[in-house]
Structure 1
């Protein structure tokens, strides 16, 4: 089971651990904190969290804007900052982190085209350690710094719990291997099996059952055994994220193993039904 507790930082080093602090160190939310309707989506947070070796809560102590010639690839309307910060807590990590940090981050200019002043504000950093450079971290994305709020921490906690679970996170889905629809003996009765390709070759399959006079049932089996009683993944879980953000919009024709035209159409229809039920992979600050 993951280890949860409040861990505030001193000037020392915190060893590798999973630490998901409760909402301590109260402060007024940073002005940059966005409402849920405009802030990071679940997919954004899962993408950042999965790419990170360290998820850190830090308070900015000093910022220095780099000159444009020292900021290659900087997007228009942004400034690149060299930031020095104090570590408040290691929220999750696979390596140690010091009490002070330095890193680069791209931040949007304010309405007047000025660099925002971030000193004394708390942020969540999604980062990796820099080999051979103690006290320096590298963000997993130029913009992988989010204004800290208790609400953001609460949204991150279940994602990190799944990522750091002893059994490991669900496998990444890379595509669809095969799909086969078979009609039953009764009119309107059918079963469709959709087998997914995964990064580590772990078996994952989707089953869609149709019965006369009943609602369509579907579920996902995460293992060797295809469970006809399997259920859809809960929204905003890593299993949901794997499906919503990895499955193609339509069933690839070459994956459809059915030979009869009616059964090929049924497989495509059932896949479209599942894809719609899962819903879109909404992103605001990351790319798929």
Structure 2
């Protein structure tokens, strides 16, 4: 099969054949069986955050792109031009044809051979619309993946996890992306060993997020994260939720003591110890791939 590789690389215009989004639906089969996605929560969240269009599709056809026509191709990967039929539009409102085309970079297999894309192979595609004005046909829309490899193998558990992430993302007051530590302080308590640390975080949209860590005289700690102005009643985010992901993947690995300037050195060190305890409680971010821009 011959494909319009040059046109695909430039990005064709999106075409208006409406496919209703089914964003809010959950996959009952995955929920019933308790199956787990082979992808980490953070990898899925990275893609979901960055992609204004998320599609479940089936591969219709594919063709390898010669390496000399694949600028920026990473070592150990091969590039494909793919045509796929949309099964459902999980996220997005852009008008699309029932068949889409895109370029994807996939890792070579264990023998160093290009991956194989089967006809009717189910996939999840994380994409963004391309600028209008291309030379597309009335039967195919071109999209651009948010990352060169932003095509995942579909399974029911992955789609269910993805839909849960997207549902959290669109809720009012959804936890924003953490960009750093704004400032903070530590206040010693009345008894030796007691104290409280408060840290205020920088976020991508300016919404307030803060951490509070309280230490008792026996050395035990309690901490909470507040997403919003109200700190009272804040709790510890559950693992594999959007709040946990924002903190575990967004917080710096050490507390920049310069953000606590003006406080005694002993208090800064205590705040750093409290901060390290929060990182330990959150655990590793769990990324296994480079996040796309905007994640």
TM-score between both structures, scaled by the size of structure 2: 0.83
The superposition leaves residues 149-205 of structure 1 with CA deviations (integer Å, 9 ceiling, x where unpaired) of: 11111221210111122x153111111011211111112221111111112221111
Alignment partner, residue 120 of structure 1: 120
Please, what is the CA RMSD of the aligned residues? 2.2
Alpha-carbon distance in structure 2 between the residues aligned to 1:233 and 1:13: 38
Indicate conservation of the 8 Å contact 2:196/2:212, yes or no.
yes
CA apart distance, 1:131: 2.5
> 4+ runs of 1 displaced by more than 4 Å?
none
Aligned residues: 264
Alignment partner, residue 264 of structure 2: 260
Q: After TM superposition, list the pairs within 5 Å mapping 1:1-288 onto structure 2.
A: 12-15=17-20, 18-20=23-25, 22=27, 39-115=38-114, 116-132=116-132, 133=134, 135-165=141-171, 167-213=172-218, 215-227=220-232, 229-257=233-261, 259-287=263-291
The superposition leaves residues 58-87 of structure 1 with CA deviations (integer Å, 9 ceiling, x where unpaired) of: 101110111111101112222111101100
Alpha-carbon distance in structure 1 between the residues aligned to 2:109 and 2:124: 20
Higher helix share: 2
Greater relative contact order (CA < 8 Å, ≥ 6 in sequence): 2
SS at match of 2:250: coil
> Which blocks of at least 5 consecutive residues in structure 2 are unaligned?
1-15, 30-35
> Which blocks of at least 5 consecutive residues in structure 1 are unaligned?
1-10, 25-34
Does the C-alpha gap of structure 1 residues 168 and 184 become closer, same or farther in structure 2, counting only changes over 3 Å?
closer
TM-score between both structures, scaled by the size of structure 1: 0.85
